[in-house]
Amino acid sequence: MIGLKEVTQMNPENLIPVNLIATSTIPIVVIAIYLGLLLGLAMMSKLLFRGTSTDYFVASRSIGPFMLLMSVFGTTMTAFALVGSTGKAFERGVGTYGLMASSSGLIHAACFFLIGIKLWSFGKKYGYVTQIQFFRDRFESKAIGYLLFPILVLLVIPYLMIGVIGAGKTIMGVTGPKGKAPGMFPELFESTNGAVPGELTGLVICLVVLCYIFAGGSRAAAWANTFQTIVFMVMGLLAFYLISDKLGGLGAAIAQANEAHLVRDVSGPEGKVGVPKLMFLTYMLIPLSVGMFPHLFQHWLTARSAKSFMLTVIAHPICIMIVWVPCVLIGLWATGKLPEGTPGGAVLAKMVGILVKDPIVVGLVTAGILAAIMSSLDSQFLCLGTMFTNDVVLDKYGKEHFTDKQIILIARAFVVGIVILTYVFSIILFEKNVFDLAVWSFSGFASLTPLVFAALYWKGATKSGAFASIICAIGVWLYFFGASGFGGEYTVLNGMMPVAFSFGAGVIAMIIVSFFTAKPAESTVNKFFPKF
Amino acid sequence: SKRIIIAIAIVLAFLHHDTWNWGNSDLVFGFMPVGLFYHACYSLAAAILWVFAIKFAWPKGLVDWAEGGDSNES
């Protein structure tokens, strides 16, 4: 049997060797095939590369409705979509969906409609490829770029590490020892008991993403994201179907779940099950982060026309439902199958491993998890390269000093640098709880959303107001981030999320300071509030 | 129409808090906790809201202006 090192026992129930998953290399073969297909497809898109910097950064603004939906949805759904949703439902119960998914359905789509279309319009009209270019013009200040740039980079880098560390931990779980059975490669990786080490997985993931981003830029990212989004949506549904089947159907599956997890009321030791009402309310601010994600801004700018947004705005809440409802249900079913205290990040893999057992399915579901991770990684790597090139180098030395080929070369060099930096950080911080870090990253971006709303909808928003909003929002965010021990789960006043304070600080600072400082020039107002 | 859309979005945001189902563990269709069912319906409601937003509050003037000539595109 291919890839099977030893078969010592057979499970009489379904005639599948009980230690098959631990010792069979089939899951790794499936994952390798997936990575090969992804790389092949993304590299094929290079055939469409037009060789210009506009094509590298924003795909010559030529992406149609379906690819825009897939790339925007794939980018907003990280490993959290499959692994985090299942784990959180296992820990906190049914409230996870309302807490993180349905609120996102409304607010993400609102951001695409109210922010995305406007920014796309200004990007199209004035040739912007980064957020900072827009803010510099809107607030008549080069300095605002130098304030925003490090903040955006520092908020994206943890988000990048979430992906690389998450991938490493996922593969370690799949290839590691199961019970008495050794890991998949006991002779090759003695120090990890036969599991593929996290740093090796991180290296492979980074190299695959780097290959196609280096070659094809934004267009390759859009193609790869479309493929990856389809993969992780299908694999989530596949896991749902197979697990429910093994549990005796949907009714039997939910019947054996822990009852405390079927309601949002807080219960359990230290109130860890359920969702505090203040947390549920203030968590609604976190999805606002999509209004300030630089990598999402770049995807918006790739749209062929404003009409490309229509499908994204309408279908995004439905896509969230398709991915999250099955995963939340798997998390609820797991409360009747797995011991309390099982790490949230391991719940989906354990449910597939214990119940489905088929190594091909394990490989497919793992490929789905990697797809969810990589569909965010590629856009983030590219956006940081784009920001360094346009907001630092070209801004400092002038675009006229470089040929288009040199601009692409600079962007590629920055992308390579960012990938190396992310990889090194992910090795150093491998043991960090990545999902808690994700919420802090989202909170930081959400705190900056008042800036973009004011820039787009308030003629009276001033340069000083913008500076005050950024400094106050990030100052308050940093205070709570420090109080949490730099990345742990943290709430105040019996469940309130810190984002409520940092977002509020940004709003108040913007309004008060703008009222008392010099208004933008009439030419600027006319530029960004045109009369039709 | 824009104001109506925004008002509906705000009402949806409040309805999302869903206080009446907070402690209800009933199952819908025999397998879905009522809280999850409610919020899944809410996802569909959000999609329908944005269908209406696109129909009645599409920023046509801005889009036509952006897609018109005189662009600074490099």
Is A5 inside a domain boundary? no
Residues B23, A263: C-beta atoms closer than 8 Å: yes
CB contact B3 to A (< 8 Å): no
Is A391 inside a domain boundary? yes
Interface with A, mutate which of B16, B18, B36 (most A CBs under 10 A): B36
- How close, in Å, is residue B38 to chain A by CA atoms? 9
Residues B47, A105: C-beta atoms closer than 8 Å: yes
Residues with Cβ within 8 Å of residue A196, at least 6 apart in sequence: A28, A171, A172, A175, A184, A185, A189
Is A333 inside a domain boundary? yes
Instruction: Return the pLDDT at A152.
Output: 93
CB contact B28 to A (< 8 Å): no
A529: nearest CA in chain B?
B62
Shortest CB distance from A532 goes to which of B9, B16, B65?
Answer: B65
Determine the Cα angle at A71 with ends A441 and A133, to 5°.
60
Shortest CB distance from B31 goes to which of A98, A102, A251?
Answer: A251
User: pLDDT confidence of B9, banded at 50, 70, 90?
Assistant: confident
The domain total for chain A is 1
| Contact between A174 and A366 (Cβ < 8 Å) | yes
Tokens of A20: 């098959």
Is B72 inside a domain boundary? no
Is A7 inside a domain boundary? no
Residues A106, B49: C-beta atoms closer than 8 Å: yes
Is A473 inside a domain boundary? yes
CB contact B64 to A (< 8 Å): yes
Q: What is the four-CA torsion angle of A410, A412, A415, A417, rounded to 10 degrees?
A: -70
The total of other beta-carbon atoms located within 10 Å of residue A184's CB is: 27
A254: nearest CA in chain B?
B31
Is A15 inside a domain boundary? no
Is B73 inside a domain boundary? no
Chain A environment of B56 (Cβ under 8 Å): none
Is A1 inside a domain boundary? no
Residues A125, B25: C-beta atoms closer than 8 Å: no
- How close, in Å, is residue B7 to chain A by CA atoms? 12
Interface with A, mutate which of B50, B55, B65 (most A CBs under 10 A): B50
B8: nearest CA in chain A?
A106
The domain total for chain B is 1
Tokens of A416: 């390579």
Chain A environment of B1 (Cβ under 8 Å): none
CB contact A267 to B (< 8 Å): no
Residues with Cβ within 8 Å of residue A106, at least 6 apart in sequence: A317, B9, B12, B13, B16, B42, B46, B49
A to B CB pairs, distance under 8 Å: 149
The DSSP code sequence of B2-70 is: HHHHHHHHHHHHHHTT-GGGTT---EETTTEEHHHHHHHHHHHHHHHHHHHHHHHH--HHHHHHHHSS-
Q: The domain that contains A209 carries what CATH number? A: 1.20.1730.10
Q: How many whole angstroms separate alpha carbon A93 and alpha carbon A265? A: 9
Instruction: State the burial class of residue A523 (Cβ atoms within 10 Å of its Cβ: 0-12, 13-18, 19+).
Output: exposed
Instruction: Return the pLDDT at B72.
Output: 46
- How close, in Å, is residue A262 to chain B by CA atoms? 6
- How close, in Å, is residue A241 to chain B by CA atoms? 14
Is A482 inside a domain boundary? yes
Determine the Cα angle at A105 with ends A100 and A110, to 5°.
125
- How close, in Å, is residue B8 to chain A by CA atoms? 11
- How close, in Å, is residue B72 to chain A by CA atoms? 5
Query: Mind listing the pLDDT tens digit of every residue in chain A (532 residues)?
Result: 334 333 333 333 333 343 444 557 788 899 999 999 888 888 777 777 778 898 899 998 899 999 899 999 998 887 767 788 889 899 889 899 998 898 888 889 999 998 999 999 999 899 998 999 999 999 999 899 989 999 999 899 888 887 898 888 788 888 887 676 778 888 788 788 788 899 899 999 899 999 998 888 998 999 898 998 999 999 899 899 889 988 899 999 999 898 798 887 888 776 778 888 888 888 889 999 999 999 988 999 999 899 899 999 999 999 999 999 999 999 999 999 888 788 887 888 878 877 877 888 889 988 998 999 888 889 989 999 999 899 999 998 898 889 988 999 899 998 999 899 899 988 888 876 665 778 899 899 999 999 998 999 999 999 999 999 999 999 999 999 999 888 777 888 778 899 999 999 999 999 999 989 998 998 999 999 997 7
Domain of residue B59, residue span: 2-66
Domain of residue A115, residue span: 20-528
